[in-house]
Structure 1
């Protein structure tokens, strides 16, 4: 059956548009031109919300400056508020990866908002002589200031979820650090036995690492909050009132609740994507830390009989289709893979930023897509690592205690008391004979039992020497 259609036109000619959709001919061209990922911009609700807020701020500024009449302004503002609150996100249908520096995304937003505003005024979709996607919704704007501004705002929205997830994971590692504060073990360097520490100390480092990365992420956000709205095509502000850029930035900051600031030089800000590279670098740093932590968890839990076997990860799924009883560290493994993806996304963002030419970077769509993937997947990874792994970790206390008792690494703690050469002898002889360092030191008369007991206490073994 033929669906009812409406006729729209652009500079390339006329096309029939399904009468029930809110998007128009520019969006249709994009649907035909960019069958790339199958993922639409509507799948990023933060981006759609940010686009609506940008359009609302622009309409408010244009109205305040006497360029947009009251009726159209009210209709556009109400439409933007609806979209910002989640309505019609399914109408944002263009592919996330697109040519044209994001023009198709901007056009999609203009058309959806225009047609929704037309409905509010009592007109049918496509009746653009009454309210036009470009003449009214896009007034005083260009894709080249709308898209990067919306992208930055959307990233700020999205990052809050990642910050929350990082804080949850940090708190869970801190809780495990407290739980394991009395569990003595042997630390390792280059995968070789080193000196004693507590399992609590080992887990505390993960909490500290994540806290540091949260700080770095918040610092990166401050750079993202500088925008070029009002720059229009290349940063000169052509087709805008001289008061517009400052005003629209203030309106957008108020509407979004984000402390946005206008860039000092809009020409520079329109072509420079360095803040995205900076943010991606921080995301890569987080990914690297998470992957290192997961590597540690996999090593420490390896076994259960032929590996380290120091900790137990929660059993989340059967591990093999051929080996009965096998359990794998699947949660750390999935987080490792997220980290690999984020590192790859960082390379994509770096290359896309470098590829900008003259007054514009045409590759912000892939920058945005890569950033959103990194942020979303890191958030999901942190949450599943916390909920499905860290909270359920247990320690093999007896095994760890026995390894400390028999470790040749205890010789290092005796260095200040028996000297390096004697400590070396004790370590080597312990490895050769299977006897303990303490037994050998006592037998050779290097220290007495009282002195050994005083030195080989957990609080002495795992901290600097305290003055007498």
Structure 2
């Protein structure tokens, strides 16, 4: 059956006050749908309906539809599918209607019709526009698959059937948490790969000695491999911390309906819905112990955001180091070479900039700003509901997406291609007075300090000055200044060879 695009297909119902032109047919290419505010023309080929149309008119803010986050669309369809199965199980929905809804949801889960999720990521109404967009698309898709025209809500209703036993206030935050879990899996996969790339470089640079620095001043020697191993270790710690946040997303309020009391839902519905949802998503979701609290509180989103910011800031610090270590190529540190990715200047020929670390820095800045937004939105809730979950969802989804992509480009377009400037590193170690720190147990701090000053003033080699001062033999000095010993890679054989300084 096809829809007559010039007639009212919304089915019987009372005419709302102010429903001007109730008997006027739709313009060509449109259908008429009604809500409590009146009649609205909706494009005949749209799966969405009147509630989505009003949201499009009311929230032309971000110019970004929710479909920019496919995992969120899949999460919404997963929730609706689980609810349809649970409603059929408890007898709140006929098996036929439940099957229609189930099949429509499955198409969306498989990646179809995402272009119909058109409401903006920024919206008022605590997510109602997103929930109704999902309800309408699922309903009209189910109607079409059953042989009815879009808009035949007398046969299948987006509210009475697709949204049965539900409220935006439980389905929307549940879908957000599911989507966050999906997003997090993508990010963790990229984070693990990035850690692996740093580990490979740590092994590659294991024997390359360099000058370590504290407070931007020369300190003591280390290896370039140790530096990159430190990067890998900190990313591993971030992986562990972010993995731990999964439990924040596991506790959901599905079945709470409006404010947590479960009004309109069968007593057995919530448990059935969560059971079906775990099968559909492969997650281990569980009902919140206090549905009133869970419906009103956004603390889990705030905690999750904080952990995400932690990871972003630490990654940004690594990128700061990469930019410093690669600075130059002639008048900077010049210790490592980043892969050249693009010409760096429209006026300075031959200039190549560290564009990949720079973009990762900027992603970190955005994630830190998003965390402030999430924090303020979590604080802004009142009484039994937080109306600001749309902005929380958008900024968390954006942060996860950007960080995942940033990690990918950092690994593929930067880390994997880094090389060491070994001659430069060796020259700096050779001229550094920091190596004299290793001789303090043998010549004392005062003598070491005096020789360091001499080396700085004259530019002479520290080892030569120590030998000339008859403080140590050449053989002993060179043994103590071996790269493996300087970097701490050579195990200490004991203290018996270290003389007592009188």
TM-score tier by shorter-chain length is: over 0.9
Alpha-carbon distance, 1:198 to partner: 0.2
Hey, which bits of structure 1, 4+ residues long, moved more than 4 A? none
Does the alignment pair 1:309 with 2:314?
Answer: no
Report the Cα distance in structure 2 between the residues aligned to 1:92 and 1:451, rounded to whole angstroms. 74
Deviations 1:338-395 (A, max 9, x none): 1100000000000000101111000000001000110000011100011111111111
Does the alignment pair 1:16 with 2:44?
Answer: no
Q: Tell me, what secondary structure is at the counterpart of 1:282? A: helix
- Which one of the candidate residues 345, 370, 393 is aligned to 1:320? 345
Report the Cα distance in structure 2 between the residues aligned to 1:218 and 1:227, rounded to whole angstroms. 18
Q: Match for residue 356 of structure 1?
A: 381
Q: Match for residue 365 of structure 1?
A: 390
Q: Tell me, what secondary structure is at the counterpart of 2:245? A: helix
Indicate conservation of the 8 Å contact 1:3/1:18, yes or no. no
Q: Tell me, what secondary structure is at the counterpart of 2:451? A: helix
Q: Tell me, what secondary structure is at the counterpart of 2:32? A: strand
* Aligned residue runs from structure 1 range 293-308, under 5 A: 293-308=318-333
Q: Match for residue 295 of structure 2?
A: 270
Alpha-carbon distance, 1:41 to partner: 0.8
Deviations 1:32-63 (A, max 9, x none): 00000110011111111001010010010010
Report the Cα distance in structure 2 between the residues aligned to 1:15 and 1:297, rounded to whole angstroms. 57
Alpha-carbon distance, 1:3 to partner: 3.6
- Which one of the candidate residues 397, 413, 437 is aligned to 2:462? 437
Does the alignment pair 1:203 with 2:224?
Answer: no
Q: Match for residue 161 of structure 2?
A: 136
Deviations 1:193-235 (A, max 9, x none): 0000000000001111111101111111111111100000011
Q: Match for residue 446 of structure 2?
A: 421
> Any stretches of 5+ residues in structure 1 without a counterpart?
none
Does the alignment pair 1:60 with 2:60?
Answer: no
Q: Tell me, what secondary structure is at the counterpart of 1:345? A: helix
- Which one of the candidate residues 399, 416, 421 is aligned to 2:424? 399
Q: Tell me, what secondary structure is at the counterpart of 1:230? A: coil
- Which one of the candidate residues 387, 393, 410 is aligned to 1:385? 410
Q: Tell me, what secondary structure is at the counterpart of 1:445? A: coil
Q: Match for residue 76 of structure 1?
A: 101
Q: Match for residue 493 of structure 2?
A: 467
* Higher Cα radius of gyration: 2
> Any stretches of 5+ residues in structure 2 without a counterpart?
1-25, 495-502
Number of matched pairs: 468
Report the Cα distance in structure 1 between the residues aligned to 2:291 and 2:84, rounded to whole angstroms. 20
Q: Match for residue 331 of structure 1?
A: 356
Does the alignment pair 1:34 with 2:59?
Answer: yes
Q: Tell me, what secondary structure is at the counterpart of 2:127? A: helix
Alpha-carbon distance, 1:246 to partner: 1.4
Query: Which of the two has greater helix per residue?
Result: 1
Q: Match for residue 376 of structure 1?
A: 401
Does the alignment pair 1:247 with 2:254?
Answer: no
The RMSD of aligned alpha carbons is 1.1
Alpha-carbon distance, 1:401 to partner: 1.0
Alpha-carbon distance, 1:398 to partner: 1.2
Q: Match for residue 141 of structure 2?
A: 116
Report the Cα distance in structure 2 between the residues aligned to 1:163 and 1:104, rounded to whole angstroms. 31
Q: Tell me, what secondary structure is at the counterpart of 1:439? A: helix
Q: Tell me, what secondary structure is at the counterpart of 1:414? A: helix
Deviations 1:135-186 (A, max 9, x none): 0000000000000000000111111111111111111110000000010000
Indicate conservation of the 8 Å contact 2:463/2:478, yes or no. no
Report the Cα distance in structure 2 between the residues aligned to 1:427 and 1:161, rounded to whole angstroms. 51
Q: Tell me, what secondary structure is at the counterpart of 2:433? A: coil
Indicate conservation of the 8 Å contact 1:220/1:275, yes or no. no
Indicate conservation of the 8 Å contact 1:185/1:197, yes or no. yes
Indicate conservation of the 8 Å contact 1:284/1:343, yes or no. yes
Q: Tell me, what secondary structure is at the counterpart of 1:193? A: strand
Report the Cα distance in structure 1 between the residues aligned to 2:202 and 2:101, rounded to whole angstroms. 54
- TM-score (structure 1 length as normaliser): 0.99
Q: Match for residue 44 of structure 1?
A: 69
Report the Cα distance in structure 2 between the residues aligned to 1:249 and 1:362, rounded to whole angstroms. 24
Deviations 1:229-284 (A, max 9, x none): 00000111111111111111111011100111111111111111111111111111
Alpha-carbon distance, 1:2 to partner: 5.5
Indicate conservation of the 8 Å contact 2:377/2:392, yes or no. yes
Alpha-carbon distance, 1:437 to partner: 1.1
Q: Tell me, what secondary structure is at the counterpart of 2:242? A: helix
Q: Match for residue 165 of structure 1?
A: 190
